[in-house]
Structure 1
């Protein structure tokens, strides 16, 4: 096994390769480890009951299921028992499948949507996300479901006239053919009330609510750009699950799309119009080879768990870390939570693999370029307008949280307007081409990829029947991954962490981590505030 011999050499590799690794979000892992969950007391259920009102509706035996004529679909299993048999955690039944097309045809001059150079470097994979909405309507659940199903479809068709690339197909890693073939859209009935589902959710169970995947899932080329499944619970609550192509979707783009869909569903006439400037600022390269899977993608059984930092804990944590090497302002909640998790992950890695004093562990953080450019890029611009910031620590040395925060802050600060300017044109092509080589520090998995949707506004979405009670982000395929998200109320942070089984067993028992975070709590706990 080849190990990095010097810290200087490792640092250079981090700086040279950080973008490539952040740009490549990998394919969905086929096997996920079932996470143990904490069962919360009935008090959470009782206090949340008003948000989940509504009578049961019956599941009819006569269901009209329309299969797509263009593709065959299969549901990828994520959980297996010891005998290798698929485990079913959710009693779910697909009741319809169809393609939702734009309400009006895309003009001929807009039929080709060029990808940017950053889009090109993205792996052609789907990122899974889900939004849970309660039913607060006391009328017939059957009528509520029928009405909301119709509104969601009509609203989606309406906004696809603005987000027309999403109804097309990716072609040759250069552009999206905006042919109005539509987005994959399915509906399912879940034989469970939403509040019961949310009492003890885990990553494995939530994944069973995701849309079916094309059997040719190895590539998005020629496939849907986005797949949607609307899951109706017995109480009338809804789980809107999406699998979005990373050839055009970053976190900001996803929020813009969902915000426009919600506005149209509640009847708003103020529909957001996306800006397609990305390919003009970062033009693509026709000679760029299609990216191949990275060694940092999942190839073995993984474990994903949630760790929630409440606002009181975060205030205490940030107060303790106010003095640090690169101090300019107190740590943000992103910096504080990321540092705690990075430290625990690095320590766990050093206990399952040989590490020396000069052996580094890397953190790669996704950075939104829109506000960092000069002048700032339009806030309504869609596409992958992100870059990656790389920082390293040395687990066999003493790890201090203030130092880790300083390293993280410094790495992100380097993604400034000058750096963004250097990414444009032919020079930018050359920079990104060099970033294609994976670095040695990640070859043995000695890194963690991090992405944040803090302050994204997902909990403010309103489809016309109440705001979400939980928004959940899933790992798209990294061996080791950290996703940060808001809690429903109180300004807390939900950290979704994916590690190998061996690392997770150590990580989830880390005393310092557990002094700040709660493992796998029910999202319903935040409804009492």
Structure 2
């Protein structure tokens, strides 16, 4: 264990919402390991991991640093009377939310004494297990110090932004690999000959949302998170943790421009740094007559595709399903076969009623199929 007591956060880490990101992994029962043995092994493994990734066992000292005080993480065990199959047949927020520790999913950290990580092991009557992890979004970049990549220096320390909850409802749409291939064939062009899965699915959701809700591209923006790890020179290690991301804002795009924006890789770190410096002076919506200030609706998207979620094998096999919980944005994840995409789309209820019935959307996506059917 390093003797370092304070771990500095990067500029990006301290401006993001300090809320808990929920992860949920489902595992079928196995005959070679009982639930009690699995829990014991998980506790042992967790203690070993925390001794190496020690800042996760600390607490937030303030907006810009972690106090590595070894206070530990929260570890809960819940035993359920239902079978795992009952959830996988019809996964809904009502059935998934109790599987997370202390209802922390997407909730803000209440104070600096809150643990950075909370874990709950859910044991089903059939022998199956669901492991949920709620991890503070205000994470540090470790082992690569984020503060060395995006130092605070003379940048302003913004007032902490709180995660705003709304009355959105969530729906799960599954795009099979064959349907994504069809989308790619439709949108491929000279300018974008090889659009990615994420590009075509994101573009379709954005386009159909604008249409179904009766909006305009001119006043509806699309913001997506961009992973900076493979855009630095040299590229950062893939196992670097933390908010090594920035956001791409697409305003009033043509379809080709939307795909080109998603695929752009020519922005270097000086460009990103300049964006950070300008963040303090971005005008508020409605504050002037320029086009950007007139944006009245924004769809926010985060892609977790290609994250190795289905490689999380603790000794009894890989997960049969990985998901997260309802949020206030659009989250894209791989299907188990790696070819399709599961999209969790969050909207206000009256908007979702129209969106989930959109005929063009449902030509390519299935609405909340059972796990293993279209996922």
| TM-score, normalised with respect to structure 1 | 0.65
Residue segments in structure 2 that go unaligned for 5+ positions in a row? 287-291
Task: Compute the displacement of 1:502 (Å).
Answer: 1.1
Q: Is the 8 A contact 1:305 1:519 kept in 2?
A: yes
Q: How far 1:293 sits from its partner (Å)?
A: 3.4
Aligned residues of 1:367 and 1:415 also touching (Cα < 8 A): no
Q: 1:169 aligns with which of 51, 59, 70?
A: 59
Please give the secondary structure, in 1, of the residue aligned with 2:363.
helix
> What's the counterpart of residue 279 of structure 2?
432
1:125 and 1:453 mapped to 2: Cα distance? Answer: 17
Distance of 1:203 and 1:339 partners within structure 2: 25
Report if the CA contact (8 A) 2:174-2:342 is conserved. Answer: yes
- Alpha-carbon offset, residue 429 of structure 1: 5.3
2:289 aligned partner: none
Q: How far does residue 475 in structure 1 lie from its aligned partner after superposition?
A: 4.0
- 2:165 aligned with 1:298, yes or no? yes
Q: Does 1:421 align with 2:270?
A: yes
Give the equivalent residue in structure 2 for 1:525. Answer: 373
1:428–1:486 CA distance, 2 compared to 1 (3 A) = closer
The superposition leaves residues 124-151 of structure 1 with CA deviations (integer Å, 9 ceiling, x where unpaired) of 11111211111121x6xxx701100000
For 1:189, the equivalent position in structure 2 comes to 79
User: TM (normalized to structure 2)?
Assistant: 0.90
Question: Once the two structures are superposed, what CA deviation does each residue of 1:410-444 show, in whole Å capped at 9, x if it has no partner?
Answer: 334556442x23444xx565233235x54446998
Does structure 1 conserve the Cα–Cα contact (< 8 Å) formed by 2:7 and 2:55?
yes
Give the Cα–Cα distance (whole angstroms) in 2 for the partners of residues 164 and 233 of structure 1. 31
Question: Structure 2 residue aligned with 1:154, among 38, 44, 63?
Answer: 44
- Is this contact kept in 1: 2:176–2:374, CA < 8 A? no
Aligned to 2:11: 117
1:453, 1:239 → 2: CA distance? 19
Aligned 1:320-399 pairs, distance under 5 A:
320-323=186-189, 326-327=191-192, 329-350=193-214, 359-393=218-252
**Residues 120-139 of structure 1 aligned to structure 2 (within 5 Å):** 120-137=14-31
Encode CA deviations 1:389-425: one digit per residue, 9 max, x unaligned: 111337xxxxxxxx43x2333334556442x23444x
Tell me: CA distance 1:508–1:488, structure 2 relative to 1, closer, same or farther (3 Å).
same
Quick one: structure 1 residues 220 and 519, their matched pair in 2 at CA, closer, same or farther if it must change by over 3 Å?
farther
Distance in structure 1 (CA, Å) of the matches to 2:111 and 2:326: 17
1:229 correspondence with 2:120: yes
**Is the alpha carbon distance of 1:410 and 1:497 closer, same or farther for their aligned partners in structure 2, counting shifts above 3 Å?**
same
Change over 3 Å in CA distance of 1:509–1:411 after alignment to 2: same
Question: 1:367·1:389 contact (CA, 8 Å) conserved in 2?
Answer: yes
Of stretches 494-503 and 372-381 in structure 1, the one that deviates more from structure 2 is: 372-381
- SS of residue paired to 1:512: helix
Q: Return the offset for 1:493.
A: 0.9
Q: How many pairs were matched up?
A: 367
Is 1:453 aligned to 2:320, yes or no? no
Compute the displacement of 1:373 (Å). 1.0
Tell me what 1:463 maps to.
Answer: 314
Tell me the CA shift for residue 113 of structure 1. 0.7
8 Å contact kept, 2:220–2:295: no
C-alpha RMSD over aligned residues: 2.5
Who is 2:131 aligned against? 240
> Where does the alignment leave 5 or more consecutive residues of structure 1 unmatched?
1-105, 254-273, 395-402
Greater Rg by CA: 1
Q: Which of residues 330, 334, 352 in structure 2 aligns to 1:504?
A: 352
Q: Displacement, 1:312?
A: 1.4
Partner Cα distance (1:177, 1:224) in 2: 11
- CA displacement at 1:504 relative to structure 2: 0.3
Contact 2:6 2:65 in 1 (8 A): yes
Query: Following TM superposition, where does structure 1 have runs of at least 4 consecutive aligned residues deviating by more than 6 angstroms?
Result: 441-444
Residue 484 of structure 1: aligned partner: 332
Which whole-Å CA distance do the structure 2 matches of 1:341 and 1:189 have between them? 37
